[in-house]
Amino acid sequence: MSQLFRPGANTWARVVLALLVLGPFMTMLIGGIIQRSDTATGENRFVEQPVPFSHQHHAGELGIDCRYCHTGVEKAASAVVPPTHTCMSCHSQLFTDAEMLAPVRESMATGQPLAWKRVNNLPDYVYFDHHVHVNGGVPCAACHGEVRRMPLTRQAAPLTMGWCLDCHRSPEDSIVAAEREFASAPYVHRTAADRAAARATMMRIAHSGKDLMDCSTCHR
């Protein structure tokens, strides 16, 4: 009587059974890895802008304060994208014929704002308030990285829910003294003033009765 199954049939059956059992777990594992990868989160990505603005040159080499352009960062939820007249306050006198600044000059002449694209873009269901963080001692670099070293602005953090929660669990580790909030490398060589500012902010949060881990803190 001839054989119904080939000699390797048992091996193949074991392989198929193993795949049926392990397949869902492997799918979840691979999906989790992809979800946390730069491809999914956008971390380290660059966004093409109408003008190749260099923070390294303006904020780093020239030392222009963040608040000169981002005027809302200390008093509003949005840091504010600078309007064209902010750019032209310098460039009406400097590099007036530079080709790369043609869109800026055209915007000023026509009154049509430049279409800057968001680099750090949160979903609509996430509420982030810049002035609450800044006034609480969280420096720009905590979320935006070392912008003063970026020739082109990139997304420096994953901006995932887990990343935000890590900070909300231990906010004192991210708080610095007021004079270091807009400084370069604010977390290098933390000082007694940084620790004092962190304690004061934590006491203020505790007295307010707010829970930074509450869903409504970021989802409204």
Place of tokens 């704002």: 113
- pLDDT (0 to 100) of residue 91: 95
Structure tokens at 99: 């080709």
In whole angstroms, give the CA distance from residue 58 to residue 81. 15
Structure tokens at 68: 């000169």
Q: Where are the beta strands (DSSP E) in 32-141?
A: none
For the chain, how long is the longest CA-to-CA vector? 98
Structure tokens at 167: 């900070």
Place of tokens 């750090």: 120
- For residue 212, the 8-state DSSP code is T
- Give the closest residue to 54 by CA, choosing from 39, 41, 64: 64
- pLDDT (0 to 100) of residue 27: 67
Q: How far is CA 175 from CA 2, 10, 144, in A?
A: 78, 62, 15
- pLDDT (0 to 100) of residue 8: 64
DSSP 3-state of 139: coil
In whole angstroms, give the CA distance from residue 69 to residue 79. 9
- pLDDT (0 to 100) of residue 24: 76
Query: Do residues 156 and 63 touch, judged by C-beta distance below 8 A?
Result: no
Query: Mean pLDDT, consecutive 10-residue segments, the chain of 220 residues?
Result: 61 75 70 64 91 96 95 94 95 94 96 95 94 95 95 95 95 94 90 95 92 93
Q: Judging by beta carbons within 10 Å of its beta carbon (0-12, 13-18, 19+), is residue 49 exposed, middle or buried? A: middle
- Give the closest residue to 121 by CA, choosing from 83, 157, 85, 171: 157
